[in-house]
Amino acid sequence: MKIEYTGRHIAVSPALRRHAAERLAKIARHMNGASEAHVILAVEKRQHIAEVVVVGKREKLSSEASTEDMYASLNRALDKIERQAKKHREKLVLGKRRQSSKGASRRRGEGEEEQALMPLPAETREITLIEVESVAPPQMTMEKAALALESSVRPFVLFREKATASLRLIYRRADGRLALIEPTD
């Protein structure tokens, strides 16, 4: 990386140059090869001002910091540049992921909403069993099961129909109405 130093009312010491070069080398890794940087150090009254501009392949990042110590100012400015570079890299990575999924759905002629609702193919889904609970479903009528659902913390109630002793499941649908699932023999 080519680094240019400018000192306004201050001579840029070799120690300041080394410090800036070490930090800029770390920042260059986040930017996928920053090509050049310009470090401007200035002193105005009692304030030490550090301004850093880094130019990469796709971006130009800049920051400025001011304190009473030149090293502190330079560190703050370089910290800001580092945060900007990380944020920019994350946007690029997330943008590529988002862009590829939108492009694929458009090619298939599907809307984004439809794609979000479609289940993943079985080979890409990873099934993880969270909890196993053994229960003996109580015998009750349909009305009592509906009342039990209202007071239950779970979104469903599993029960045995009192009259037929068949296993049934009652749950609340998205529209608020109750639905019943009963197995076929």
Give the three-class secondary structure for 143: helix
Q: Which tens digit of pLDDT belongs to each residue from 154-174?
A: 888 999 988 888 899 999 888
Count of CA atoms in the C-beta half-sphere (13 A) of 110? 12
| 8 A C-beta contact, residue 77 and residue 50 | yes
Query: What DSSP assignment string belongs to 85-127?
Result: HHHHHHHHHHHHHHHHHHHHHHHHT--HHHHHHSPPPTTT---
User: Which amino acid is present at 183?
Assistant: P
What values do phi and psi take at 167, rounded to 5?
-75, 135
Q: Which tens digit of pLDDT belongs to each residue from 77-86?
A: 999 998 988 8
In the chain, the domains with their CATH numbers are: 2-107 (3.30.160.100), 139-181 (3.30.505.50)
164 secondary structure, DSSP code: T
The full length of the chain comes to 185
C-alpha triplet 134, 138, 141: angle, nearest 5°: 145
- Spatial distance between the Cα atoms of 18 and 52, rounded to a whole number of angstroms: 15
Q: Which tens digit of pLDDT belongs to each residue from 6-45?
A: 999 999 999 999 999 999 888 887 777 667 999 999 999 8
User: What is the percentage of the chain residues whose pLDDT exceeds 90?
Assistant: 34
Residue 112 banded pLDDT, cuts 50, 70, 90: very low
Min mean pLDDT across 38-47, 102-111, 136-145, 162-171 is at: 102-111
Residue 182 banded pLDDT, cuts 50, 70, 90: confident
Torsion of CA 75, 80, 82, 87, to 10 degrees: 170
**Sign of the CA dihedral with 26 first, then 30, 32, and 34 last:** negative
From residue 132, alpha-carbon distances to 126, 128, 168 in Å are 17, 11, 19
pTM for this predicted structure: 0.51
At 67 the pLDDT is 93
